[in-house]
Amino acid sequence: MSRHQGPKAPSQRMLRVGELVRHALADVLQRGEVMDPVLETHVVTVPEVRMTPDLKLATAYVMPLGGKDEQKVLKALEANRKQLRMLVVKRLALKSAPDLRFRIDDSFDRGAHIDELLRSPEVARDLAQDGEDER
């Protein structure tokens, strides 16, 4: 009888290749190698790239500096996906070039929301009660 354990953690190879792709993509975007009016006027950060187990698909989590024009930047990245893929692959020594897909990185928003919850009066009250119960 086997138990379903959910999604597996990424392998070391997936993490290593994801980090290589992240560095290469960030370098391409920083140097302005893609001629696109939206990408030329925005600084785009790439906090994370996740690879599929077969290393054929790279999901890049991106965020324009200041969080402005997220959808415009996402559309520009998607429109220039083939060129970005070519420029990233030129920097890497991989057997096959991974397809790129882009998503907005919302980890900062989620972290701010959790921080806000932790600072709420209800949580502070519960923490104060737990501290009294331990005495």
pLDDT class of 132 with cuts at 50, 70, 90: low
Whether residues 118 and 72 fall in one domain = no
Residue 4 lies in a domain: no
Whether residues 31 and 92 fall in one domain = yes
Q: Specify the pLDDT at position 130.
A: 61
Range of the domain at 115: 107-135
Q: Which tens digits make up the pLDDT trace of 6-28?
A: 567 889 999 999 999 999 999 99
Residue 124 lies in a domain: yes
Q: Which tens digits make up the pLDDT trace of 48-107?
A: 999 999 999 999 999 998 778 889 999 999 999 999 999 999 999 888 889 999 999 887
Residue 3 lies in a domain: no
Q: Specify the pLDDT at position 123.
A: 75
Q: Which phi and psi angles does 79 have, rounded to 5°?
A: -65, -30
Domain count along the chain = 2
Whether residues 100 and 114 fall in one domain = no
Q: Specify the pLDDT at position 2.
A: 43
Residue 6 lies in a domain: no
